[in-house]
Amino acid sequence: MVRRLSYTDGALWYVDACRWAGVEHVVYDQSLKNLMERMNEYIKDRTEAFDDLFPCKKPKFEHVKNWFKAFRFFYNYVFMRKLVQHHS
């Protein structure tokens, strides 16, 4: 069984959201707050830029799931390889 975790800052509504989504709610401590906020902002910026090129026009769960798979592929296998080649 895969353990699915959702790390949050502890806002009360996350408890219900995690229960609804079927994931374990974990509150990160204050020492990780800046790192987690920076990571969330980074992901948000990258997905917004990707959505500008490939908009998700059908907000159905399966379509959104496929959109995120496409984003993950683009980021991991296209963008990162291009970045590594540029720095080589």
pLDDT in tens, 50-86: 788 877 776 677 777 888 888 888 877 776 666 666 6
Supply the pLDDT for residue 24: 92
pLDDT, tens digit (0-9, with 9 covering 90-100), for 11-29:
888 999 999 989 999 998 8
- The full length of the chain comes to 88
Which contiguous run of DSSP H or E holds residue 27? strand 24-27
Residue 77, amino acid? Y
Helix (H/G/I), strand (E/B), else coil: 6: strand
pLDDT at site 80: 65
> Residues 16-43: what's their mean pLDDT?
88
Q: What is the pLDDT of residue 37?
A: 85
pLDDT number for residue 48: 84
| Predicted pLDDT at 65 | 80
